[in-house]
Every structure is written in C-alpha cells, then in structure tokens.
Amino acid sequence: MSAKQRIVQVLGAATAGALALGLTACGGGDGGDDDGLTTVGFVAVGPEGAWREANETNIQETFTEDAGYELKYAPATNLDQKSQIDAFTSFVDEGVDVILLSATEATGWEDSLKRAQEAEIPVILLDRGIEPDDTDLYVTRIAPDNIAVSTAVADWAVSAFPDGANYFVLEGPAGVSVVNERNEGFDAVAGGQANLVKVGAQTANWSTEEAKSVVETVLKSNDNDVQFIFAQNDEMGLGAVQAVQEAGLTPGTDVKIATIDGTKNALESLAAGELSFVAEYNPLFGETALEVVEQVLNGDDVESSIVVPSATFDSPEAAEAALPDRKF
Ligand code: AHR
C-alpha cells in the first residue's frame, strides 16, 4: 500500500478517533497550572544535527506563553528511547493537555500511547512515525512526506544517469521510521532501473565523520567505481563529499551526491558544485503544529497525516537563489 493510499485509507478511522479524542481532549489534561496556559509535553529527540536543531527550536519558538502555551521540552538523553518513554510517562502522569512526540525509535510505543489514550491526552507525532503505524493510537503525524522526498531523489538519479551508475546508500540509524520510508520511496523507483546498480548500503548515523569513513572504505573496496551516493541526510552527504575529495576524485563530476534535508550547509555545498541534488525535508512546521493542537483541543476533525510541503534543489543556481532567505 503506497503512502498516499495509506493516508487516504486511514482518514476515516483517524477522523473518528481524532474526533473522539478531541471531544475529550479538553477533559484529558488538567489544563496544567492555574495560569490558564495550555500545557504541551514535547517528547523530543534533542541534539542530532542541523535539521533537528532547526525543527525543535521552531517548535519551542512557536509554543510560547504569549501564544497561550506552557511547552515542557524533554529531549532524549543521548538519543535513548527509554529516556523518551520516561518523559512521555511523566507527561501523562502530570496530566498535560497534549503530547508532541518525535520518536528516536519507530517501535516500542504501543504501551505509552495506550496510556495517553486512557488518560484522554491526545498525542501528535512530529516528523517521525511509529511502526506498526496504528493510527488509532495517535491523532495525527505532521511531517514532510519521506516517500515523496526520497522518490524525488530517485527520479533525479534516473535522469542524471541515463547510462546507469553504481551507487551506495548512506542510511540514518537502523530502526528510525524515516530511514525505512526513505528506503521505500527510493527503492520503488531506483529498484526498477537495471542500469542503476546498488553496490551497498550502510548506516552512518546522520554523522558527517562517520559518513566520510564509510565512503572512504566503499571507494577503496570498489576501486573508485562508484558514480552516485544517496545520503539520507545532509550531514552524511557532506561527509561523502570529503571522502570523495580525499580519494582524489571530484564530487559533482566523478561522483554525484544527493542528500535530504535542505539545510544551509547543504545548499552552500550544492552552490559550490560539490553536492548535486538536495531534497528539502522542511523542519519549520511549528505554526502548523500549533494550529493542529488548537483544532484537536477544540474537538475539530484532524486528518491522520499532515504533509509539510518541501522543495528540491537540482543546480548551483537553484541553491544560490534560495540561500539569501534560508531560515535553517
Ligand atoms: O527525522 C528527520 C531526520 O532526522 C533528518 O533527515 C535528519 O537530519 C535528522 O537527524
């Protein structure tokens, strides 16, 4: 089932679920303190890279007291899921009005989500999904569409390599929902191209340094016969650029590198001709999240998946045009 089918398919069930939650959401939390502010428990990822910093800063700058909110920010400890589950549990016990969750791991959330449901506290997923994707356990997920974003990378690769290429994939950490979705979208297109040959894939944990090390090894073990690298985020793509250069090859010419996120550093690298394609995964959806929270607490219908629009950049000129106003 495609992502789009899934979104359409779950709308009915989730709408009913959301409505039920929404109608009782106001009764869920105790309204927090008696200062009249809506209390929001944000179970966050914490320090992870430029995308995450932009996203979590945007959320914190949106849910302010002036806007009527008390945002309780709970970043994970070293990306550890147990610390997230502990924070989630504390928010339920505290009776916050709504929980925002950016999950470090896709699995292992059923018990926590059921506890929030029993406490009639609506849960909104930000960015990261859960697996299995039981849309009855949360109200909605707000994120760019990872399938569409990674499909755009594959479509670009097909056009960039009409005569084919050997390629390698730098993945994010195993067990993260967006990694599975990005593989799904990319493989759905690239997997059908006989002349695009996958020589391997390996996680570099969103890290520039780790990606550089992985690509150094890949180039050596393939006698530099790799023409394309798909990096599932910008930091890893920038590490691949460094490894290609240190191998005496020219990024953008000998080896084309495509990334996902669209952070300033990646666009500057694209403008310099090092990266070849950057698919934005827009982190700035705080306003959307606030609107959705208000809808949910008002008992309004909410779609089970809210897609954040994102652009693509396929040339130095496109990157140069975007950089002056880049907000992340
Ligand atoms: O979940 C979004 C991903 O997490 C971003 O693409 C990556 O940069 C971040 O670490």
The three-state DSSP-derived secondary structure of 28-95 is: HCCCCCCCCCEEEEEEECCCCCHHHHHHHHHHHHHCCCCCCEEEEEEECCCCCHHHHHHHHHHHHHHC
Does residue 115 fall inside a structural domain? yes
**Which residue stretches of the chain are H helix?**
3-28, 50-62, 81-94, 110-118, 146-160, 177-190, 208-221, 234-246, 264-271, 286-298, 316-322
Domain of residue 19, CATH code: 3.40.50.2300
CA 76 to chain CA centroid, Å, is 16
Q: Are residues 23 and 37 in the same domain?
A: yes
Which numbered atom of ligand 1 lies nearest the CA of 260?
Answer: 6
pLDDT of residue 33: 53
Q: Are residues 168 and 36 in the same domain?
A: no
CA of 79 to the centre of ligand 1 (A): 12
Q: Are residues 92 and 59 in the same domain?
A: yes
Owning domain of residue 119: 3-143+283-297
Token readout for 147 is: 């399938």
How far is 145 from 327, CA to CA, in rounded Å?
20
Does residue 302 fall inside a structural domain? no
Q: pTM for the full model?
A: 0.90
Hey, what's the torsion of the CAs at 234, 235, 241, 242, to 10 degrees? 170
Return the best residue to mutate from 127, 142, 203, 263 for the ligand 1 pocket (most ligand atoms within 8 A of CB). 127
What are the residues whose beta carbons fall under 8 Å from the beta carbon of 295, sequence distance 6 or more? Answer: 22, 301, 302
What are the residues whose beta carbons fall under 8 Å from the beta carbon of 147, sequence distance 6 or more? Answer: 2, 3, 181, 184, 185, 188
Count of positions (residues) in the chain: 328
Query: Over its length of 328 residues, how does the chain's per-residue pLDDT go in tens digits?
Result: 344 444 433 334 444 444 444 433 333 444 445 689 999 999 999 999 999 999 999 999 999 999 999 999 999 999 999 999 999 999 999 999 999 999 999 999 999 999 999 999 999 999 999 999 999 999 999 999 999 999 999 999 999 999 999 999 999 999 999 999 999 999 999 999 999 999 999 999 999 999 999 999 999 999 999 999 999 999 999 999 999 999 999 999 999 999 999 999 999 999 999 999 999 999 999 999 999 999 999 999 999 999 999 999 999 999 999 999 999 9
Domain total in the chain: 2
Ligand 1 pocket, 177 CB below 6 A? no
pLDDT of residue 34: 62
Return the best residue to mutate from 52, 149, 265 for the ligand 1 pocket (most ligand atoms within 8 A of CB). 52
Q: Are residues 60 and 37 in the same domain?
A: yes
pLDDT of residue 2: 44
